Structure 1
Amino acid sequence: MLSAQAQTKVGDAILPNTIKFNGENLTINGAGLREKLFFDIYAGALYLKQKSNKASVAGLDETMAVRVHVLSGMMSRKKMEAALRNGFVKSTNNKTAPLQDRIEKFIGFVSEEIESGQIFDMVYEKGKGNVLYKNGVEKGFVEGLDFKKALFNIWLGNDPVDKGLKNEMLGN
């Protein structure tokens, strides 16, 4: 019997419905597009162990992931660095000082130029920390549940990068 892995199409991105990190299966919770000036910049998806429509999942001590599938050449390394820095400021209500060294370390993992079609997974692996993968290759990690909450709240917090994308990631 043949079986095709279930997938979700978001814009020009094809996202798997399940992924595995830290030996744990994660299921797509929701996905949507990050758009700017009518251009699709990236497809973003939230992967959880159990589906949830609550933004509070950002604070849970369990493995989860945000996948960013780059769809536009408009997304450069410098733009991603700036977006992450701005996202951390917004997700912490401008209280980045306790996280600043770890924020810079994490952003440093985005060291190569970004091209359309590349996939970044920002994964909290319980027992390890916050890992950045580029095209399936680990680029590095930083520890801390406090960092994880700030990282995931870039998309799920009270002042997310994109409210529509937040709602789509949470399946609302």
Structure 2
Amino acid sequence: MRAFVAAAVLAVSSLSGMSASAQTVEVGNVKYESAVDLAGQKLQLNGAGIRYKFVVKVYTAGLYLTTKASTTAEVLAAPGPKRIHISMLRDIDGNELGKLFTKGMEDNAPREEFVKSINGVLKLSEIFASRKQLNNGDNFSVDYVPGLGSTVLLNGKAIGETIKEPEFFSAMLRIWLGDKPADTGLKEALLGVKKARRN
């Protein structure tokens, strides 16, 4: 009887461990929760991956949506709140990152969308410029809530004013999901069409 109970406890422990590990996805030694709450809604991790520049790992990124999407059009059209979460894998100058993001938006967003996003682009650049440097281990998120706008969080704390233009968040997502993405492998990972390189 004791052997049976011990076996049962071991089985339950194994299942608990599996469910705990299933709640996070690890990419580049960074853990992403499989689900998060935002504005009273549950968002699912659509995909996560690593941004490489040549062979250097720059950051990891994870995309959260209310419903699964496997194309850029589906992501942009997805209803409800959305989140993009970035975790730095190396030190980078804040101004440099701001310029790269601005260029990524300009290269990928339709002109009209980019023009309507200018206010948000300037605010994002100011945030990065004031930070001067993002260090390995720092993270930031941009949360979009329909009707309210986009909030930038640095290491979990909201920073700067809410960016009200909805076009800004769409233009920003195109940095990674547009026709000229920052990293093709990362685009596929965020869309969940290809497993991310974990290291």
Letter paired with 1:9: E
- Cα RMSD of the aligned pairs, angstroms, is 2.0
Deviation of 1:61 after TM superposition, in Å, equals 4.9
1:100 aligns with one of 103, 112, 118: 118
Query: Is 1:67 paired with 2:85?
Result: yes
Deviations 1:76-118 (A, max 9, x none): 2122111111111112255633332321012222221211111
Unaligned runs of 5+ in 2: 1-12, 194-199
Determine the structure 1 residue equivalent to 2:150: 130
Residue identity over aligned pairs, in percent, reads 25
Runs ≥4 in structure 1, deviation > 4 angstroms? none
Residue 147 in structure 1 maps to residue 168 in structure 2: yes
1:126 positional shift:
1.8
Matched positions, count: 171
Q: Which amino acid aligns with 1:32?
A: G
Measured against aligned partners, the alpha-carbon deviations of 1:49-84 in whole angstroms (never above 9, x if no partner) come to 1111121112445211111011112x2212211111
Give me the TM-score of the superposition, normalised by structure 1: 0.89
- For residues 86 and 100 of structure 1, do their structure 2 counterparts lie closer, same or farther at Cα, with a shift above 3 Å needed? same
Match of 2:72 in 1: 55
Provide the rounded CA distance (Å) in 1 between the counterparts of 2:117 and 2:33: 32
Q: Which runs of 5+ in 1 are unaligned?
A: none
For the 8 Å contact 2:87–2:138, the answer to whether it is kept is yes
1:17 deviation in Å? 1.3
Question: Are residue 26 (structure 1) and residue 29 (structure 2) matched?
Answer: no
Contact persistence 2:47–2:191 (CA under 8 A): yes
